[in-house]
Amino acid sequence: MAAKRLNTTYPLLFLLICVCSNPAYGQIQEIGKELHKLSLIKDSVSLVNSLNRLGILYRPRNIDSCFYYGMKAKRLAARIHYQQGQTNADHVIAFALFKKGLYAESLELFSNVLSGYQRLTDTANIARVYMDMSAVLHKDLSDQEKVIAFMQKAIQIGKKLKKDSVMSLVYFNYCNLNASLSDDSVDYYLAKSKQIANRYNDEYMLALNRSKQVYLLNRKGHKPEVLPVAKQLLANAQRMGNVNLEVYTLFILANYYHEINPQKALGYYNQICEVARESGDNELQIYYLTAALGRATKSGNKDEIIKAYAALEEAMIADRENMKRFIGDYVRYNAIADDNRLLSAENARRTLWLLVISCSAAIIVLAIYLTMLRRNRKVKAQVEALNNTANMQIIAMEEAKHQAIRQEQQRLGQDLHDGLSSYIAGIKHQLETLSMDTEDTLLKKKLVSMQTGITNAYEVARNKSHEWFNTDDGQEEQSFEHAIKLLTDSALPDSRYSKDIHIDDSSLLRVNADTRIALLRIIQEAITNIIKHAKAKKVDILIYAEIDKLIMVIQDDGTGFVGKTSTNVKSAMGLQSIRRRAQYLNGETTIRSDTKGTEIAVSIPLALSQHR
């Protein structure tokens, strides 16, 4: 009865032994090398990776050590925020939970690990996780269809791998998992598994494939071919230090002697229990001790029955104690997970504070920048105003200089006209009188000659006096026109504005310096309004004289005062300044504005004067 139970449950047992095994070569040597290297590592990331490798190497040897190194890796990886290391550690821990019988907890953790590998696009480990989840579901007997679906996903994912060494194990486990496969399908997947193992020189997978073939031969009754190969496989498993492969070959030998030598078969079962005990796999030990008790009961040997029962009871007690310790470790693992979540929450809060501080700093810097920019603009405006004032003062000084020169020239012309010209005119008159009174022909000729010379001198003096008295008006007019052009060129650059400035000849002859300065100020105010509000492209300035008044017209093609009331227009500071300056000169101001532009016309009365 017990033998029949073992035969029928063998595929399940075989899956649980193989599906989660690590393809290894000389695992004892590998573990020794990794432990030696562990004490020399200084880098935290490398230390996490080494701890995870130890956890993987201990999967087929000692499940307690597997869990221990997974815990150490998880703790360190969480402290240094090493995501890949945390995911690998959770994979090791999830497998240990599965082997300890915590199936629900194992599946939940495997699901998290799968999500982690998917984020990291770690295709090889995604395939391994699907295999591990299949093993848990198969052990739990919860959903056989889902088990096969997971394995098929592992196969589909594995086809995308460039380094497909893991696919040897995937194809092998698919044979053991799917009981509905035909013998031809089993041979097909085993052949693919062996082909990949040969390509990567994977001794463990080659031995595993060979053991499966031996098992199938034994089940089909080919006894002579089983024994030598099984013993060779056992020797290889012990040399490699692979517990799973050793247990499996011992099980093949126990099945081989099941009918022909029950006592020897029982000895192999006892060896399996010892290997399982040394590896820390209490579940496997209890399973085979139960089978051994059934065989001892069947044999009727009381000593064997008592011995098997005592061993089973001892194993169950040890399993309970081991489970208590493991639960304590598992609680500590959950504490690590909780600490990690708390740390993540704290990091999130710190990140939020950093973000708030950064935004505040950015706002402060921006405010300082805008304040400085505003101050710079204000200073620039003040400098421009100062420059404009200086320019106007210079222009006023130039006007005063020209006025002084004009007045001096007028004084000299007046002195020349009133003094020298009058004196010469007197001499000329005396010469004319002498010439008329004398009868001497020779003397008269001399007097006429002198009279002619004096007349010429008188004309030269008179002309020069008139020139000095009148010509500076033209110079003053030219100076005023130059001042207007200087002002418009600095305020209205040719790159942005088209300008037309025209001053009629002799239009400023009857305009004094004060009036010219006032006109210049009016032009300045009008240009300021054009720059600030008009958005104009063309500016015209026209100055001409009528009989009794001087007319100045300033036009632009800007936006005008559309949408503003006349009250608003009148209240504008610039326009009020223009009106006040015109009124100061007893003049009038007319302002017309529409969508086509603005025209400012200033009319100033002129005093009539005669020039001699």
Phi/psi at 549 (nearest 5 deg)? Answer: -155, 155
- 386 and 461 assigned to the same domain: yes
In angstroms, the CA 115 to CA 122 distance is: 10
Q: How confident is the model at residue 412 (pLDDT cuts 50, 70, 90)?
A: confident
In angstroms, the CA 56 to CA 241 distance is: 14
Whether residue 49 is predicted with pLDDT greater than 90 in this model: the reply is yes
Mean pLDDT score of the chain: 78
Q: How far is CA 283 from the centre of its chain?
A: 53
- 502 and 562 assigned to the same domain: yes
In angstroms, the CA 604 to CA 481 distance is: 18
- Most confident residue range from 170-174, 235-239, 537-541: 537-541
Task: Give the range among 113-127, 187-201, 207-221, 356-370 with minimum mean pLDDT.
Answer: 207-221
- 500 and 599 assigned to the same domain: yes
CA neighbor of 147 nearest in space, from 254, 11, 38, 278: 11
**502 belongs to a structural domain:** yes
Q: How confident is the model at residue 601 (pLDDT cuts 50, 70, 90)?
A: very high
User: Per residue in 498-515, pLDDT tens?
Assistant: 989 888 867 777 787 778
In angstroms, the CA 90 to CA 77 distance is: 11
- 465 and 545 assigned to the same domain: no
How much of the chain exceeds pLDDT 90, in percent? Answer: 12
CATH number of the domain to which 524 belongs? 3.30.565.10
Q: Which amino acid is at 286?
A: I
CA 143, 144, 148, 151 dihedral sign is positive
**567 belongs to a structural domain:** yes
**What Cα–Cα distance (Å) separates residue 505 from each residue in 78, 474, 546?**
93, 8, 12
**238 belongs to a structural domain:** no
Q: What is the pLDDT of residue 237?
A: 81
Q: What is the pLDDT of residue 513?
A: 73
Q: How confident is the model at residue 14 (pLDDT cuts 50, 70, 90)?
A: very low
**533 belongs to a structural domain:** yes
How much of the chain exceeds pLDDT 70, in percent? Answer: 76
Contact 113, 87 (CB under 8 A): yes
Each residue of 349-369: b (16+ CB within 10 Å) or e? eeeeeeeeeeeeeeeeeeeee
Q: How confident is the model at residue 386 (pLDDT cuts 50, 70, 90)?
A: low
**390 belongs to a structural domain:** yes
In angstroms, the CA 216 to CA 211 distance is: 9
- 515 and 558 assigned to the same domain: yes
Look at the chain and report how many structural domains it folds into. 2
**592 belongs to a structural domain:** yes
Q: What is the pLDDT of residue 341?
A: 60
Q: Which of 436, 470, 504 is the last residue of a domain?
A: 470
Query: What is the average pLDDT across 581-589?
Result: 90
- 430 and 510 assigned to the same domain: no
In angstroms, the CA 268 to CA 292 distance is: 9
CA neighbor of 322 nearest in space, from 267, 272, 271, 276: 276
- 507 and 566 assigned to the same domain: yes
Which is more confidently placed, 2 or 462?
462
Q: Which of 404, 436, 470 is the last residue of a domain?
A: 470
Q: What is the pLDDT of residue 612?
A: 35
Q: What is the pLDDT of residue 48?
A: 93
Q: What is the pLDDT of residue 553?
A: 94
Give me the domain span that covers residue 550: 493-605
Task: Give the range among 170-174, 391-395, 508-512, 557-561 with minimum mean pLDDT.
Answer: 391-395
Query: What is the average pLDDT across 545-552?
Result: 89
Query: What is the average pLDDT across 37-42?
Result: 86
Contact 604, 582 (CB under 8 A): yes
Give DSSP secondary structure letters for 142-208: S-HHHHHHHHHHHHHHHTT-SS-TTHHHHHHHHHHH-TT--HHHHHHHHHHHHHHHHHTT-HHHHHH
- 539 and 456 assigned to the same domain: no
Q: What is the pLDDT of residue 571?
A: 42
Q: Which of 470, 503, 518 is the last residue of a domain?
A: 470
- 439 and 506 assigned to the same domain: no
How many Cα atoms occupy the beta-carbon half-sphere of 214 within 13 Å?
A: 27
- 466 and 505 assigned to the same domain: no
User: Per residue in 433-478, pLDDT tens?
Assistant: 777 777 777 877 777 788 787 777 777 776 766 666 655 555 555 5
Q: What is the pLDDT of residue 230?
A: 84
- 526 and 448 assigned to the same domain: no
User: Per residue in 511-527, pLDDT tens?
Assistant: 877 788 888 888 888 88
Q: What is the pLDDT of residue 515?
A: 83
- Greatest C-alpha distance within the chain: 198
Whether residue 1 is predicted with pLDDT greater than 50 in this model: the reply is no
**210 belongs to a structural domain:** no
User: Per residue in 86-115, pLDDT tens?
Assistant: 999 999 999 988 887 788 888 889 999 999
- 375 and 435 assigned to the same domain: yes
Q: How confident is the model at residue 428 (pLDDT cuts 50, 70, 90)?
A: confident
Q: What is the pLDDT of residue 390?
A: 57
Query: What is the average pLDDT across 243-263?
Result: 82
Which is more confidently placed, 299 or 610?
299
In angstroms, the CA 468 to CA 459 distance is: 14
